[in-house]
Structure 1
């Protein structure tokens, strides 16, 4: 069944008004007709089974048939702090991280990041990544659309990390898988966790030390193999999803 997102303000007692680009998608891409059913999320973990009643060039009116709460969201809030990678790797990272249940994504400028974005390019990239997050959330049946934040400096990201209950920073020089297990298993349901991932060149030693001193980041190992930047964060999200899954 086709899945769409709206804001709570678009939800009325008996119907939902869909606007924006989804209208064109429903009418001209999917070629849906009056009477067809679709699923709508309000971004607050509530879903609606609806039936199309009216369509215009600008809106789709969908009557509410059934209301239910979603159970697709993880039991903990996870924030992926991703060092800016080269090429279009960030597109793939955003898509897969959303599928794996990430709550928020923070693109992050680090010392070894090859990609340098000015304000104009960064805004354009962020808008693209947010659109990818929305599409992935629809596909995965998420109850919310994870937010892709504006690009942050490493210091800004650490300040954000200080607001979270746990911060993990995979690092190729970290040792001790048993300590890594202990750190990841310390996350409890209802808590929050930040995952700091370096770009292709990884983190510099000073950055890891700064993350530990300023945000309480725990260096962890991901095993005997060195993972690419587009794999490392997804590895940690997968482990946390396994640990937290009801």
Structure 2
């Protein structure tokens, strides 16, 4: 596979453009030269052939070639709402969720969450996670970059009217919770068309009041099996189940 680079500027055949700074640095690290081929995508769908025209000290100019309507998206759009795990685990979750085909990620501040972000610090983290998603798309071949939404408190997010997915699940350890695997294996084409939203807690899970509120808002409690998974593992396991069928 040729090196792939995301360009925030819209792409068009025969256009000449300067790569974004991060992509230009990557080209230089790879020791690419004028005449070398690469693949470009702007997130609007498909990908473009490109050829390096000029290498400057800090700028790389590329000529855009033919467009290919190639998509590598999951058959079902799955949105993850996650109580943010601490340390580097959220970085890892964003990277792997992007590789698995997540449609978007909602980072949440929850009762048991250790990571507390607000203001400028929260926006810097969101931008950092969005950059991780871009890099993961470049690596795995996706041509559409999942959106990492701004950090929000659980109570604000659960009230948002934008949660319109046909199916809503909350990962739960409560007795009587049905297996998410069953929902994944019996999903209809219509269900897949409208997608799903999975709510997952941080270390220690969602608070009891949070889980009750989610269920009251139409989130069906679901289990991943008899073992207690780490916060980031649980979210990714649910995503893998729902995007693979």
User: Normalised by the size of structure 1, how large is the TM-score?
Assistant: 0.89
User: What are the within-5 Å matches in structure 2 for residues 76-225 of structure 1?
Assistant: 76-158=76-158, 159=160, 162-175=163-176, 177=178, 180-184=180-184, 185-186=186-187, 188-214=191-217, 216-225=218-227
**How many angstroms does 1:65 deviate by?**
3.7
**How many angstroms does 1:182 deviate by?**
4.2
| Equivalent-residue separation in structure 1 for 2:15 and 2:211 (angstroms) | 51
Determine if the alignment matches structure 1 residue 60 to structure 2 residue 63: no
| Equivalent-residue separation in structure 2 for 1:94 and 1:162 (angstroms) | 20
Unaligned runs of 5+ in 2: none
Q: Pairwise CA RMSD of aligned residues?
A: 1.9
Cα pair 1:174 1:220 within 8 Å, conserved? no
**How many angstroms does 1:100 deviate by?**
0.4
Could you tell which deviates more after superposition, 99-108 or 125-134?
125-134
Cα pair 2:76 2:193 within 8 Å, conserved? yes
C-alpha spacing 1:239/1:34, structure 2 compared with 1 (3 Å): same
SS at match of 1:129: helix
**How many angstroms does 1:223 deviate by?**
0.6
Unaligned runs of 5+ in 1: none
SS at match of 1:53: strand
Could you tell which deviates more after superposition, 227-236 or 200-209?
200-209
* Paired residues, number: 239
SS at match of 2:244: helix
User: What are the within-5 Å matches in structure 2 for residues 16-55 of structure 1?
Assistant: 16-17=16-17, 18-27=19-28, 29-55=29-55
Cα pair 2:24 2:59 within 8 Å, conserved? yes
SS at match of 1:125: helix
